[in-house]
Amino acid sequence: MQNRVLITGSSRGIGRAIALRLAKAGYKVTINARKDSDELKSLQNELGENFSSKLIFDVSDTQKSREAITDDIEQNGAYYAIILNAGITADNTFVALSEDEWRGVIDVNLHSFYNVLNPSLMPLIRTKKPGRVVAITSVSGVIGNRGQSNYAASKAGVDGAIKSLAIELASRNITVNSVACGVIQTDMTSDINEDFIKFAVPAKRAGSVDEVSGVVEFLLSKDASYITRQVIGVNGGLC
């Protein structure tokens, strides 16, 4: 299998796990981060022969995203799958939320949907081959969460966009889904109290990045070719 896959925000956490899992499955992986780092270089090395390319751009920057993606596609060919994983949080109660905290999260988490997919989808469509779009979203976008009005809005927005885009691309054999994560063990959730997790999550534990990457791998497979327009929860029963 030589299908190329772009994964945004791949230097660590869920994005890194997805990159490694898909490389192991035989996909050619294009990795991305806002800046180059030792973590990203390490990932490149771990991907080995299934490393395709490394794109350094901020997903909130429309022009830089378009330039990097367009250049990569011209050099290496269209992506079979685009995994929208890059995301940030800036938690605060709504009345105390600053404009920067609101706009920063929306720019990275929601506007990146357009910035990454708009330049990458038409080259895929022109191949007339099957394709996949998967967005990593959050249980916060489904049920909300205290102190995360900005984050919840951004993730709910992506879930809505996914459902609309899925309708447009279904006849072209391109599936579009999101994976809405609950509490997953990453740097982003390291400060969540274990007692709270046991209280709030019916499964009594946090999920692993491998449990998320496994769902993504399935959604990219032929077995998932009739699954589209879905928000798939990986949340231990949280909602």
pLDDT value of position 192: 81
Cβ 24 vs Cβ 1: under 8 Å? no
Q: Determine the Cα–Cα distance for residues 232 and 113; give it in Å rounded to an integer.
A: 18
Out of 27, 79, 80, 151, the active site residue is: 151
Is 167 exposed, middle or buried (CB count within 10 Å of its CB: 0-12, 13-18, 19+)? exposed
Instruction: Concatenate the DSSP letters of all residues of 180-239 into one string.
Output: EE-SBSSGGGTTS-HHHHHHH-TTSS-B-HHHHHHHHHHHHSGGGTT--S-EEEESTT--
Determine the 3-state secondary structure of 125 from DSSP. Answer: helix
Q: Determine the Cα–Cα distance for residues 91 and 71; give it in Å rounded to an integer.
A: 35
In eight-state DSSP terms, residue 107 is: H
pLDDT value of position 20: 98
Nearest of 114, 16, 6, 117 to residue 52 by alpha carbon: 6
Active site residue 80: no
Name residues of the chain where pLDDT drops below 50: 1
Q: Which CATH architecture has domain 4-234?
A: 3-Layer(aba) Sandwich (3.40)
pLDDT value of position 1: 41
pLDDT value of position 191: 76
- Give the global pTM: 0.95
Cβ 165 vs Cβ 176: under 8 Å? yes
Strand partners, 207: 184
pLDDT in tens, 136-146: 999 999 999 99
| The one-letter amino acid at 169 | L
**CA–centroid distance for 218 within its chain:** 15
Q: Determine the Cα–Cα distance for residues 89 and 107; give it in Å rounded to an integer.
A: 11
pLDDT value of position 189: 75
pLDDT in tens, 182-212: 999 987 777 788 888 998 899 999 999 999 9
**CA–centroid distance for 87 within its chain:** 8
Going by C-beta distance under 8 Å and a sequence separation of 6 or more, which residues neighbour residue 174?
A: 121, 124, 125, 130, 131, 132, 133
Q: What is the dihedral of CA 216, 32, 35, 116, to 10 degrees?
A: -100
pLDDT value of position 32: 98
Domain ranges of the chain: 4-234
pLDDT value of position 2: 63
Structure tokens belonging to residue 47:
């991907």
